[in-house]
Amino acid sequence: MPPNSSDPTQKARRWLDDNIGDQSGRTIVVTGANGGLGAATAAHLARAGARVILACRRPDRGEEIARSTGGGAEVLPLDLANLDAVARSADACGSVDAVVALAGVCYAPWGLTADGYEQHIGVNHLGHFAFIGRLLERIRERVVVVTSRAHEFCGRPGFGSYVPEDPAWRTRKYSAFDAYCQAKLANLLFVNELQRRLTAAASPLIAVAAQPGWADTEAGMHSGKWVGDVFWRASCRLIGQPPSVGALSIAYATASLGVAPGGYYGPDRLFGMRGLPAVAKAGAIASDSDLMKRMWAASEQHTGVCYAV
């Protein structure tokens, strides 16, 4: 029986076949690959021939995904909410061609990481900052950081501003939505400042950002409030696209030879919520040079990891 031409996964695979080359010989780490967008991204890359390392907080679930991913996929335990564990995982990882920083916390109730940082900024940004920094000299080609259009809310009337010096939210009233938006802004600031430093150092390594649009996953089902969970599920049904399609922008940023250093990629329709990968436009705040420097200094201070660029 011929493949279903209307099946989103089949469409996604055809698009990847047409837009990224053979990935044989490349080794790629994908954080948060134990489900949702992470598992879909890993599957796309493995299907293209890459050796994929699934960096997961739940290694048991990661092993299940690795078996279904195929292509020699393997698991690296990684708990981004614990900087000591991050260091151990980075030490255990060999040389790779790319790292995809995808794992994250989304709209979660108040909570702290093992190091005392609010969990959105602690996991989504600081954990990745530490992991990539410790791996940097073993990354051959690129760093890809997954962000969200939510970063554009930061600093707007009615929404909070990102304060890099306060990762524990000691000086502000907590908002799960603000925390998520600010962590996603930190992701973009990180990419932009890292690329600036790599360029200044004449490094062949590049940093790239990607956002998946609105993907129909369980990511937003952890608000602790039934209203929030109902809103998330209704939104997924209304405008969400399957993880296999949402992961296209991430896989493209990771595997395409056509991406630009410091580039930003996301879906091309419905205000970046649905569609196929295209060049995206970040909010102006993501290239604020002063905020980039503050983010970097604070991140080095709070993680204890200093980059070699």
- Per-residue exposure over 29-57, b if at least 16 CB sit within 10 Å of its own CB, e if not: bbbbbbbbbbbbbbbbbbbbebbbbbbbb
Tell me the CA distances in angstroms from 207 to 60, 69, 140, 294, one per residue in order: 30, 26, 12, 19
At 51 the three-state DSSP class reads strand
Residue 118 CA to residue 115 CA, distance in Å, equals 9
Per the DSSP assignment, residues forming a β-bridge with 278 are: 266
Closest by CA position to 248, among listed 272, 231, 219, 282: 272
Helix axis angle, 289-303 to 176-200, nearest 10°: 100
- Tokens of residue 47, six digits: 């299907």
Closest by CA position to 143, among listed 197, 89, 105: 197
Q: Is 180 a catalytic residue?
A: yes
Catalytic-role residue among 107, 117, 180, 252: 180
> Hey, which residues are catalytic here?
180
